[in-house]
């Protein structure tokens, strides 16, 4: 008399079913087979498991590349608000480079993407007007850097409605202002920011398409 076969537990049945699914062969098209033959590669039977692993590796590679690009090369930012009017308009999309600030230094007059102390990773777009060691002052609704009046941005929105006593930036302090100086939350209210908080250089408006344009550096003393 043959020994009676014991039934599998539910967990064992699930594992058996998963193995069967994972190792299920996938049919290869004639085109795929021909392509492998031309490359002189061995024709191996694809399975559901190998296909899933291939997709996971492809997606992981894409994610890593995207992170590298965003961290070291460039990123697209959107304008949220009107603090840079009329240089930049609300909802425009900006192409911003990062590598030049990783390998070099920002320049006075650049439009930059930056963070503010105590505001986490929230990004702001402003114009860099003061560098370490500069003396910055706002009087008679005009900006003065190192005692020299700086021309208003070409597309400035409203003039500043405040005064600011002269003060000198420390070794790692940078001063940023919105081009809409009468309506901007910037260094005149939150103070200077450190170099580490300047993360990208605004290069081009890329959206909407009918507004594509370069965003220029502006650092022009007023002619005497």
Q: Catalogue the active-site residues.
A: 83, 126
Helix/strand/coil percent split, the chain, to 5: 30, 25, 45
**Would you call 215 exposed, middle or buried from its count of C-beta atoms within 10 A (0-12, 13-18, 19+)?**
buried
Tokens of 147: 């005692």
- Round to whole Å and give the CA distance between 124 and 153: 18
Q: Which residue has the tokens 């291939």?
A: 54
**95 neighbors 206 (Cβ within 8 angstroms):** yes
Measure CA of the first residue to CA of the last residue in the chain; give whole Å: 114
CB-facing half-sphere around the CA of 152: CA atoms within 13 A: 19
């Amino acid at each position: 008399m043959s020994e009676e076969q014991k039934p599998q537990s539910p967990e064992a049945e699930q594992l058996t079913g998963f193995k069967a699914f994972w190792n299920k062969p996938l049919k290869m098209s004639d085109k795929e087979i021909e392509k492998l033959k031309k490359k002189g590669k061995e024709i191996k039977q694809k399975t559901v498991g190998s296909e899933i692993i291939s997709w996971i590796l492809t997606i992981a590679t894409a994610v890593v590349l995207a992170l590298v690009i965003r961290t070291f090369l460039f990123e697209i930012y959107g304008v949220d608000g009107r603090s840079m009017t009329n240089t930049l308009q609300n909802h425009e999309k900006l192409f911003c480079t990062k590598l030049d600030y990783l390998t070099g230094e920002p320049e006075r007059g650049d439009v930059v993407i930056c963070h503010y102390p105590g505001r986490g990773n929230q990004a702001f777009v402003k114009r860099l007007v003061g560098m370490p060691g500069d003396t910055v002052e706002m009087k008679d609704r005009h900006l003065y850097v190192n005692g020299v009046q700086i021309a208003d941005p070409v597309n400035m929105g409203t003039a500043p409605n405040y005064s600011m006593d002269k003060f000198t930036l420390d070794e790692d302090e940078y001063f940023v202002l919105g081009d809409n100086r009468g309506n901007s939350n910037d260094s005149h209210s939150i103070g200077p920011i450190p170099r580490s908080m300047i993360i990208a250089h605004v290069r081009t408006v890329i959206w909407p398409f009918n507004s594509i344009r370069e965003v220029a550096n502006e650092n022009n003393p007023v002619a005497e």
